[in-house]
């Protein structure tokens, strides 16, 4: 997503520079080639090959689920193993013939067939129905396949399987336990993913880590919302830092997930405070403390290590800081002020996201900010803040403040434009 946006901006700049005579057409072509490299004319072969591998794996899974009694157990097991073994020579052959998408599809099919084989063994020998353990075995097999072949498809399967393993390990009464063994698989998978610049792998890694972090604050709902805000702030900060310092795609992928999660949890904060007439008993605890430490360290790293200290990033950091203060408003004291302060904080954070996204040039924050602002208004209209007169005054004050901000931003833009013109004139 960010690569596409950067490509569009760079292409527009190159066209403008060539038209103004700043650079030649050959120089522009060299810049395009150096920055983006040679691309295939179409991604359709890779997409269709991967979909075909998924369909074939689905057929194998259906075969396993059929549990044909007519076929001996050993024959079924040997058939699955032979199918897996045959995929790797095919992948090697396709790789030597410069068909990487075909080789990736073959290895992905072998990995999915291995998962079906795990299910087949459990079905044939009536092993206990411990599906998280089966997911762990699939993740281990996918990691081995990814390490041996260097393909991306098995890595995506590994991240999905280890997420299922971690998420399904306990029943509802055991969600308070932290599943540290998750990192025994996640760390080597993440190490294998680094440097691939494969967006699907990068987003799979970000999502897997996000689901594990969600389990830390899974219950009750208010703790999940507060912890989600803190972890999403950490995602945003690390993603911005990765974008600033050109870190691998696995770190940059944290930014969109963090931005959208931050917006969703902000909206839930308004609904939560308007739903309850008393303060939340789970505003701060040990797990939330861990989330806040992660958010604080990530923001500090962004502030210290970022090479470009522009105003847009500062505005986004301010939006994140405002979101982090919301759970603190729920600690002690009467509940009525929080029913006004939290909606104000959410709206201010949404406006800051829009402003920061526009200044930095990241459309994700602009869209998230507008979405949060619109959904928040709908929630506030649906659930009255105090009396109807109080609600009317609330929207009146918010509207006046926003119009004032618009006027101030217009004047600031005019001053900046005049300053740039004067500096250009003096330089000439």
Residue 198 within a domain: yes
Residue 412 within a domain: no
Q: Regarding predicted confidence, which is higher, 357 or 46?
A: 357
Whether 289 and 386 share a structural domain: yes
Structure tokens at 72: 């001996």
Taking residues 305-321, report their average pLDDT. 86
Q: Is 361 left (phi over 0), alpha (psi -120 to 50) or beta?
A: left
Whether 132 and 49 share a structural domain: no
Closest CA to 49 of 4, 3, 82, 91: 91
How high does pLDDT run on average in the chain? 78
Question: In residues, how long is the chain?
Answer: 428
Helices (H), 150-253: 153-167, 182-193, 199-216, 221-245, 249-252
Taking residues 293-311, report their average pLDDT. 87
Residue 380 within a domain: yes
Taking residues 116-138, report their average pLDDT. 73
Residue 417 within a domain: no
d(CA 394, CA 400): 10
Whether 289 and 396 share a structural domain: yes
Whether 78 and 95 share a structural domain: yes
Whether 275 and 351 share a structural domain: yes
Whether 369 and 280 share a structural domain: yes
Whether 93 and 148 share a structural domain: no
Taking residues 233-241, report their average pLDDT. 95
- Count of domains forming the chain: 4
**Confidence (pTM):** 0.78
Whether 165 and 298 share a structural domain: no
Whether 236 and 211 share a structural domain: no
d(CA 285, CA 277): 21
Residue whose tokens read 């691939």: 196
Structure tokens at 286: 């040990």
Domain of 5 in residue numbering reads as: 1-39
Whether 7 and 114 share a structural domain: no
Residue 410 within a domain: no
| CB of 188 closer than 8 Å to CB of 139 | no
Domain boundary among 122, 143, 162: 122
Q: Taking 90 as the threshold, does the pLDDT of residue 297 lie above it?
A: yes
d(CA 372, CA 374): 6
pLDDT, one tens digit per residue, over 173-193 is 555 677 889 999 999 999 999
Axis crossing angle, helix 286-305 with helix 199-216, rounded to the nearest 10: 140
Structure tokens at 31: 């810049």
Domain boundary among 216, 246, 279: 216
pLDDT, one tens digit per residue, over 400-419 is 766 766 666 556 556 655 65
Residue 18 within a domain: yes
Q: Give the per-residue pLDDT at 15.
A: 74
Count of Cβ atoms closer than 10 Å to residue 220 Cβ: 12
Whether 47 and 160 share a structural domain: no
Structure tokens at 77: 């097991």
Q: Give the per-residue pLDDT at 99.
A: 79
């Amino acid at each position: 997503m960010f690569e596409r946006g950067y490509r569009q901006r760079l292409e527009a700049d190159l066209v403008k520079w060539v038209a103004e005579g700043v650079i030649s057409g050959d120089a522009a072509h060299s810049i395009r080639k150096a920055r983006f490299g040679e691309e295939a004319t179409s991604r359709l072969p890779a997409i269709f090959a991967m979909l075909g591998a998924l369909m074939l794996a689905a057929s194998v899974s259906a075969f396993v689920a059929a549990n044909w009694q007519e076929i001996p157990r050993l024959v079924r097991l040997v058939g699955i193993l032979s199918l897996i073994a045959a995929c790797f020579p095919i992948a090697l052959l396709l790789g030597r013939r410069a068909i990487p998408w075909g080789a990736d599809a073959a290895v992905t099919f072998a990995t999915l067939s291995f998962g079906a084989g795990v299910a087949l063994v459990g079905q044939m020998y009536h092993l206990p129905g411990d599906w998280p353990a089966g997911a762990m075995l699939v993740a281990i097999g996918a990691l081995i396949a990814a390490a041996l072949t260097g393909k991306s498809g098995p890595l995506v399967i590994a991240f999905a399987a280890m997420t299922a393993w971690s998420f399904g390990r306990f029943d509802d009464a055991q969600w308070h336990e932290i599943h540290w063994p998750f990192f025994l698989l996640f760390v080597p998978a993440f190490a294998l993913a680094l440097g691939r610049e494969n967006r699907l792998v990068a987003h799979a890694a970000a999502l897997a880590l996000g689901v594990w972090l969600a389990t830390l604050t899974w219950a009750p709902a208010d703790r999940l919302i507060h912890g989600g805000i803190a972890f999403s702030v950490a995602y945003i900060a690390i993603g911005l830092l990765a974008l600033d310092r050109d870190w691998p795609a696995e770190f940059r992928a944290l930014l969109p997930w963090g931005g959208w999660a931050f917006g969703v949890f902000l909206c839930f904060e308004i609904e939560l405070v308007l739903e309850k007439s008393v303060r939340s008993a789970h505003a701060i605890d040990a797990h939330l403390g861990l989330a806040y430490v992660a958010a604080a360290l990530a923001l500090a790293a962004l502030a210290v290590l970022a090479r470009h200290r522009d105003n847009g990033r500062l505005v986004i950091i301010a939006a994140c800081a405002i979101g982090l203060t919301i759970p603190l408003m729920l600690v002690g004291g009467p509940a009525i002020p929080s029913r006004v302060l939290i909606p104000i904080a959410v709206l201010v954070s949404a406006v800051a996201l829009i402003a920061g996204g526009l200044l930095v040039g990241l459309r994700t924050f602009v869209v998230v900010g507008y979405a949060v602002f619109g959904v928040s208004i709908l929630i506030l209209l649906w659930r009255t803040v105090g009396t109807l007169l109080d609600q009317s005054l609330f929207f009146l004050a918010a509207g006046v403040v926003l119009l004032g901000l618009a006027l101030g931003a217009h004047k600031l833009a005019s001053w900046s434009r005049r300053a740039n013109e004067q500096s250009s004139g003096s330089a000439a």
